[in-house]
């Protein structure tokens, strides 16, 4: 798989496929577009049938397409493609000790690292943590059930996303999360007829 940067905004998927087909059979080709305008963002990905085709592309020093010098590189393996070894634990009670967390999650497999994020404003532990295992088997076992009783709280287990993806999701969910948290208090509507 290759990352192709420096594309002309006019270059289509067909143009890119045709150009790169001279190096070998192209199985898949995508050009990333802006979701709002639909215009090309000037880069894309190409998957060759044979890995040797990637080497052929890299051997050639300059690649020109639609009057622009394009920049093909070997695509880095995405974190999500590797077997997940890290889980996100949400809904964790702040009074659950690190020992309790270690004891519970250690029963599933060998733990490499536990991250317990702190709230910088209150200096208290936040209601979630990340557990990294030495291999992916414990993660598979944990994900067999979405909810787990840890300490005094019911926690939700998910595969941890790479930081960039997590940040994007946080930004998108900011509004929804605060609403959900407000709903937990319950009783707000009931207390009207005091």
Q: What is the pLDDT of residues 7-54, one digit of tens each?
A: 999 999 999 999 999 999 999 999 998 888 888 999 999 999 998 999
Same domain, 50 and 88: no
Backbone angles phi, psi at 96, to 5 degrees: -75, 125
Contact between residue 141 and residue 113 where contact means Cβ atoms under 8 Å apart: no
pTM score, whole prediction: 0.45
Residues 111 and 168 placed together within one structural domain of the fold? yes
Q: Model confidence over 110-120: pLDDT tens digits?
A: 999 999 999 88
Residues 89 and 71 in one domain: no
Determine the pLDDT at residue 87. 94
Domain that holds residue 136: 81-172
| Residues 86 and 166 both lie in one domain | yes
Total number of domains in the chain? 2
- Per-residue pLDDT of 86-105, as tens digits, reads 999 999 988 889 999 999 99
Q: Please report the pLDDT score of residue 80 as a whole number.
A: 46
Q: What percent of the chain has pLDDT over 90?
A: 57
Question: Are residues 166 and 122 part of one domain?
Answer: yes
Contacts for 156 with CB less than 8 Å, ≥ 6 apart: 89, 90, 91, 146, 147
């Amino acid at each position: 798989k290759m990352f192709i940067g420096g594309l002309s905004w006019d270059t289509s998927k067909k143009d890119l496929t045709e150009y790169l087909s001279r190096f070998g059979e192209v199985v898949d080709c995508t050009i990333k577009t802006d979701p709002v305008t639909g215009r090309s963002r000037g880069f894309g990905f190409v998957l060759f049938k044979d890995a040797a085709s990637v080497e052929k592309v890299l051997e050639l020093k300059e690649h020109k397409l639609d009057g622009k010098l394009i920049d093909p590189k070997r695509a880095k393996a995405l974190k999500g493609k590797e077997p997940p070894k890290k889980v996100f634990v949400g809904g964790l009670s702040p009074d659950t000790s690190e020992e309790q967390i270690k004891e519970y999650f250690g029963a599933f497999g060998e733990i490499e690292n536990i991250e317990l994020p702190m709230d910088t404003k209150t200096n208290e532990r936040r209601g979630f943590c990340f557990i990294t295992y030495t291999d992916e088997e414990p993660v598979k076992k944990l994900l067999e059930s979405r909810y787990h009783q840890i300490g005094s709280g019911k926690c939700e287990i998910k595969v941890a996303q790479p930081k960039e993806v997590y940040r994007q999701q946080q930004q998108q969910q900011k509004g929804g999360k605060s609403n959900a948290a407000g709903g937990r208090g319950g009783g707000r509507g009931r207390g009207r007829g005091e």
